[in-house]
Amino acid sequence: MKDIHILLVEDNEGDIVLTKEALSDAKIKNKVSVAKDGEEAIRFVNAGLDDEDILPDLILLDINLPKVDGKEVLHYLKNNPLLKKIPVVMLTTSSSELDVVDSYNNYANCFITKPVDFNKFFEVVRMIEDFWITIVKLPTKD
Amino acid sequence: MNRFSVSDKLLKSLNCFFILLDDGLKVKTANSKYSHIASLAFQPGTLFTNYFSEKYQEKLALAFASAQKEIDCVTVVTAPIELEKDIITIKWSVCCIRDEDETLQGMELLGIQSKLSPKESESDGESPKSLFENTSQPFFSFDLSGNLTNANKAFADLLSYTCEDLAGTSLLSYAIDTDVPALKSLAADALAGKSLEYKFGLLDKKGRKVAVKIVNTPRIENGTFVGVNAYVKKPSVKVQTEKPFSRDERRLNLILGRLKKILDSSLDMICAIDENGKFTYVSAACKEILGFSAKEFIGKSFLDYVHEEDAESSTSASINIKNGIGTTNFENRFYRKDGSIAHLVWSSKWEETDKRFYSIARDATEKKLSEANLIASEEKYKILFYHHSVPIYIYDTESLMFLEVNDAAIRQYGYTRDEFLTMNFKDILADEETDRDSDSLAQEDFPEQLPKELWIHKKKNGESFYAEISSNRIEYLGKQAKLVLSIDRTEQTIAEQELRKSNERITFLSQATFDAIWDWDLQTNKITWNEGVSKMFDLADPAEATKFNWWSSNLHPEDKERVEQKISYHLENLIPRWEDEYRMRAGNTYKYINDRGYIIFNEQNKPVRMIGAMQDLTERKSHEIMLQNLNNSLEKRATELAESNTELERFAYVASHDLQEPLRMVSSFLQLLEKRYKDKLDNKAHEYINYAVDGAERMKRLILDLLEYSRVNSSKAEVEEVDLNEVLNDLMVTYKNLLHETNGTIKAQTLPVIKGNKTQILQLFQNLVGNACKYRKNETPPVIDISYEEEQSFYKFAISDNGIGIDPRFFHKIFIIFQRLHNRDEYSGTGIGLAICKKIVDKHGGKIWVASTMGEGSTFYFTLPKSK
């Protein structure tokens, strides 16, 4: 099976490390690319339109981002016909109801509040992996 | 002297001496007075003075000389004549007789006996002489010629003469001209048996008028009527203001020596008529009265002149007179020469020896005419009285009965004339007037014109009205009466009363008010103030405020132009109501004044007067300013406070939010460290990591609670209907595990539906029930009871437990944020839970408090309003 390519859009170094650590325990081999703000994320996926090897299979998107925030990135992705099929899991420390509603209205595939507890965080990441990588049949890139 | 021949008979009847002397003072003629006494015959051709003693001859010579000096002058001298038995004193009036060239022709002498002889006095036994002389009652008698034959001292005193002065003089010489005819008729009346009272005026020695009332009685001597006795009933002395006639002048007219003159100068026609009714003598007055000369009458019958209608009565009167019935005041009409009619009044007497009527006729034509005029003028007054537009009535001042009313009174009072004449004055008084001093109605001694009075009168229909009464005392139908004009003044009086009341009200009001009330006369520019102005502006002298200038010059310079313009605008455009606010100088400061005025216009729509009131707003203004300042600063503080609150809440929210991230990192990496390097770390390292993770955990809890606390305020809590039974169900789910573990129970009655924010109400119940579970006693299963009571405007909830209880010392502390009562080892907690509860209850408009007994349990009470 081919390696899964995951784009993690996150500005917090700690979370990047933790997420990577959690994914490293995953059953399926994966490749994690990191974009540290919204602009970088959009540049990354646009580049992937030309080279489909770069185009991620799953995007983990934090809401609070410098410059262009997570909601704007989501809006951009879901309004692009070529990009809107990529599943986007919103990850945030916020549990604001408004954020949740806004995200789903913009076609987010899933909204997950980052658990503060370390063990729970690991569990969440593993569940994401299980669900989106193992269980769900994603459309092929072609 | 033939000029006297006609009147010989008259001369003979005179009871005095009348003697004519030639220029050599020898007797030419003498009448027969006392001729029965032989020695008293003044023989013609003898020297007059020879009849007197030496002493009186000289005196008489002086009198003659004195009489010759002046023309038409009478000199009086007293010279007694010696009779056989006694001496009689004669008073002589001497007058010269001159011809046309003023050459002396002789003397005329009139001698009057001035004292009765003692013999005569004694023979008069009717009144003892001493009594007569000494009585204080003035008494006198006179003979048929009108000469005083007797006069007592009281009478002489009355006229300021001595008895001697009066003796023999004619009573007529003391009479006032107008009373002469009355006096003349005295004797005739007395003779006719009439004893009457007469009123007439006499002149005393100084020419003063003495009004006397006399009673006369006929004086009979030896069965013959010889004169009149009279006494003065009521003498009174009045000072005559006119210049009196001189005595000499008066006497001149009465000197019998000038008899013809007297007869001719008499206004009355004196005549002698023979038994056939033919005139034998007529005095000169006939010319004046009838237009005929005396000659034209002589030999003619009086019937030739008498009006046909009076002929019969005149003839029968003459027969009566001839038969001895004296007649006075017989009236008939004579034809004048010009054919007109003269009214004559006759006094006549028949003299049997002479066979003559001696008569006096007085012209009564004018009197008759004036009587007619009087009747006509009375008629006019009657018309004036009856038809006058003012109600007039006359009433008797004694009985108060109405004697007469006019038409206007009948209309005004509503009674008919006949009704009026049966009523008295009190019948027209209103009930409230019946006790009014009615003395004034009948008083005797008040002036004729009475002051006007206001009475309330009553009409026949019971209606009352204000009558202005003007009264005059009059004599009416022989009764003392009052003539009253009664003018209806009801409207005027009521208007006056209302004006007075309204004036009183204004006066009281202006005294009661603190305002300064002013009355500005626009024509004189003067202002009248009440007392308020002195207090308001602290004036030493209120008079200084009376000038308009005082007001305008004390206006604040910044307000002056505006205020004066506004007043002018109102005056020019006839806008009566004016109001303004301005500042006005009061000592060293200015006062804020609210001024309201009303302009009064005259009939030409010209403003003449302005009345208003000033109110001192200074105190109110300063309060207003203070209040405004206070409000401003309060508003500012409220804004500041709101800002600070908002900032604080945002801070709390952001802080707790942002604090979570680093905390998560700390906690996460410590655990990652433990996970990845489990085998490489010793036990101690593991223990330290645990402490760090626990600290981070507690900090996380604190931050979350703080976040919750700040959210109670910041969240725009929606108010909805909250069914507390649903809240209770949620609670049961939340605490299901805990209750199971502790074997605890929650008992609750059915709860009401309230209005509030559901999330917060749930949190309130959660926190309180949570506390009740948490602070349970070891070994004792928690029992929690939830109940409520319904009050008028709120519900009171109680959540009680059987836990450890709270020391009352800390009741007031437990609702303060971060306040903890227990060691963290015993009971975990952040000390924010009850602070959140208090904040939620506060926000819902309720109260929260606690009651507790240590070791037995606590009850938390809170109230929530029924509606908000």
Q: Which of B233, B264, B298 is the last residue of a domain?
A: B233
Residue whose token pair is 């004018």: B366
Residue of B660, B665, B676 lying closest to A14 (CB–CB) = B665
**Whether the Cβ atoms of residue A65 and residue A38 lie closer than 8 Å to each other:** yes
Tens of pLDDT, residues B485-539: 888 888 888 888 888 888 888 788 777 788 888 889 988 888 888 888 888 888 8
Tens of pLDDT, residues B407-432: 989 999 999 989 999 998 888 888 88
Residue of B657, B668, B700 lying closest to A118 (CB–CB) = B668
First to last CA, chain B: 152
* Residues 6+ positions from B758 with CB-CB distance below 8 Å: B720, B722, B727
Q: Distance of CA B24 to CAs B99, B106, B180, B798, Å?
A: 16, 7, 37, 169
- Taking contacts as CB-CB distances below 8 angstroms, the residues of chain B near A94 are 657
Residues B140, B185 within the same domain:
yes
pLDDT at B15: 61
Which two three-digit tokens encode residue A31? Answer: 């490749």
Residues B106, B133 within the same domain:
no
Q: Flag if A116 and B660 touch (Cβ within 8 Å).
A: yes
pLDDT at B39: 56
Residues B32, B51 within the same domain:
yes
pLDDT at B449: 65
Of B518, B525, B585, B587, nearest to B558 (Cα)?
Answer: B585
pLDDT at B218: 66
Tens of pLDDT, residues B326-335: 677 788 888 8
Indicate left, alpha or beta for B357 from its phi (over 0: left) and psi (-120 to 50: alpha).
beta
pLDDT at B359: 84
pLDDT at B67: 74
**Whether the Cβ atoms of residue B88 and residue B80 lie closer than 8 Å to each other:** yes
- Best interface-test mutation with A: which of B658, B668, B714 has the largest number of A CBs within 10 A? B668
Apex B192 CA angle, B370 and B9, nearest 5:
90
B691-695 long-range contacts (CB < 8 A, ≥24 apart) are B692/B666, B692/B667, B693/B667
Residues B432, B295 within the same domain:
no
How many pairs of residues across A and B have Cβ atoms under 8 Å apart? Answer: 31
pLDDT at B397: 85
Of B282, B4, B283, B13, nearest to B145 (Cα)?
Answer: B13
A121 touches B: beta carbon within 8 Å: yes
- Taking contacts as CB-CB distances below 8 angstroms, the residues of chain B near A120 are none
ipTM over 0.90: no
Q: Flag if A116 and B663 touch (Cβ within 8 Å).
A: yes
- Taking contacts as CB-CB distances below 8 angstroms, the residues of chain A near B665 are 12, 14
In a domain, B681, yes or no: no
Q: By CA distance, what is A94's nearest residue in B?
A: B657
Q: Flag if B664 and A119 touch (Cβ within 8 Å).
A: no
* Superfamily, domain A4-135: Response regulator (3.40.50.2300)
SS3 for B139-186, per residue?
Answer: EEEEECCCEEEEECHHHHHHCCCCHHHHCCCEHHHHECHHHHHHHHHH
A96 touches B: beta carbon within 8 Å: no
Please give the average pLDDT of every successive group of 10 residues along chain B, which has 868 residues. 44 67 81 60 80 79 75 65 69 74 76 53 41 66 77 80 79 77 71 66 79 70 69 53 48 54 73 86 82 83 86 85 77 86 85 83 80 78 84 88 90 90 88 70 55 86 89 84 88 88 82 84 88 83 82 90 93 91 89 92 89 88 90 91 81 75 84 87 88 84 80 73 91 87 90 89 91 87 93 92 89 80 70 88 91 91 84
Q: Flag if B660 and A93 touch (Cβ within 8 Å).
A: yes
Residues B358, B424 within the same domain:
no
In a domain, B670, yes or no: no
Q: Flag if B664 and A114 touch (Cβ within 8 Å).
A: yes
Residue of A14, A94, A116 lying closest to B669 (CB–CB) = A14
Q: Flag if A116 and B700 touch (Cβ within 8 Å).
A: yes
Residue of B657, B661, B667 lying closest to A118 (CB–CB) = B667
Smallest CA–CA separation between A77 and chain B, in Å?
27
Neighbouring-strand partners of residue B520: B527, B610
Of B580, B575, B524, nearest to B548 (Cα)?
Answer: B524
Q: By CA distance, what is A117's nearest residue in B?
A: B668
pLDDT at B238: 43
- Taking contacts as CB-CB distances below 8 angstroms, the residues of chain B near A119 are 671
Residue B448: how many CA atoms within 13 Å on its side-chain side? 2
A118 touches B: beta carbon within 8 Å: yes
Residue B708: how many CA atoms within 13 Å on its side-chain side? 24
Domain of B843 in residue numbering reads as 715-865
Q: Flag if B671 and A119 touch (Cβ within 8 Å).
A: yes
DSSP labels, B393-414? EEEETTT-BEEEE-HHHHHHH-
Please provide the size of chain B in residues: 868
Tens of pLDDT, residues A51-104: 877 889 889 998 888 878 888 999 999 998 888 888 898 888 766 677 778 888
Instruction: Report how far residue B648's alpha carbon sits from residue B641's, in angstroms, rounded to the nearest whole number.
Output: 10
In a domain, B629, yes or no: no
Q: Flag if A18 and B700 touch (Cβ within 8 Å).
A: no
The three-class DSSP label of residue A140 is coil
- Taking contacts as CB-CB distances below 8 angstroms, the residues of chain A near B657 are 94
In a domain, B634, yes or no: no
Instruction: Report how far residue B386's alpha carbon sits from residue B378's, in angstroms, rounded to the nearest whole number.
Output: 12
pLDDT at B110: 74
Please provide the size of chain A in residues: 142
Of B40, B10, B29, nearest to B256 (Cα)?
Answer: B10
- The DSSP 8-state label assigned to residue B298 in this structure reads B
**Whether the Cβ atoms of residue B204 and residue B176 lie closer than 8 Å to each other:** no
Query: Among the residues of A12-137, which ranges form H helices?
Result: 13-24, 38-50, 70-78, 97-105, 118-128
Number of domains in chain B: 6
In a domain, B179, yes or no: yes
Smallest CA–CA separation between B702 and chain A, in Å?
14
Residues B31, B86 within the same domain:
yes
Count of CB atoms within 10 A of residue B492's CB? 13
Instruction: Report how far residue B420's alpha carbon sits from residue B436's, in angstroms, rounded to the nearest whole number.
Output: 21
Which two three-digit tokens encode residue B239? Answer: 């000072």
Q: Which of B437, B461, B494 is the last residue of a domain?
A: B494
- The helix-helix angle for B683-714 and B618-676 (nearest 10°) equals 150
* Residues 6+ positions from B708 with CB-CB distance below 8 Å: B763, B832, B836
**Whether the Cβ atoms of residue B299 and residue B346 lie closer than 8 Å to each other:** no
Of A35, A99, A106, A34, nearest to A74 (Cα)?
Answer: A106
Residues B349, B432 within the same domain:
no
Of A106, A111, A19, A27, nearest to A71 (Cα)?
Answer: A106
pLDDT at A139: 64
Residue of A114, A116, A118 lying closest to B672 (CB–CB) = A118
- Taking contacts as CB-CB distances below 8 angstroms, the residues of chain A near B672 are 18, 21, 118
What pTM did the predictor assign? 0.37
**Whether the Cβ atoms of residue B140 and residue B151 lie closer than 8 Å to each other:** yes
pLDDT at B122: 37
Tens of pLDDT, residues B287-305: 888 888 888 888 888 888 8
Residues B841, B740 within the same domain:
yes
Residue B326: how many CA atoms within 13 Å on its side-chain side? 17
Instruction: Report how far residue B851's alpha carbon sits from residue A130's, in angstroms, rounded to the nearest whole number.
Output: 55
Residues B135, B219 within the same domain:
yes
* Residues 6+ positions from B492 with CB-CB distance below 8 Å: B466
- What pLDDT band is residue A31 in, cutting at 50, 70 and 90? confident
Q: Which of B350, B365, B380 is the last residue of a domain?
A: B365
CATH code for the domain in which residue B134 is found:
3.30.450.20
Q: By CA distance, what is A14's nearest residue in B?
A: B665
pLDDT at B85: 63
Residues B720, B854 within the same domain:
yes
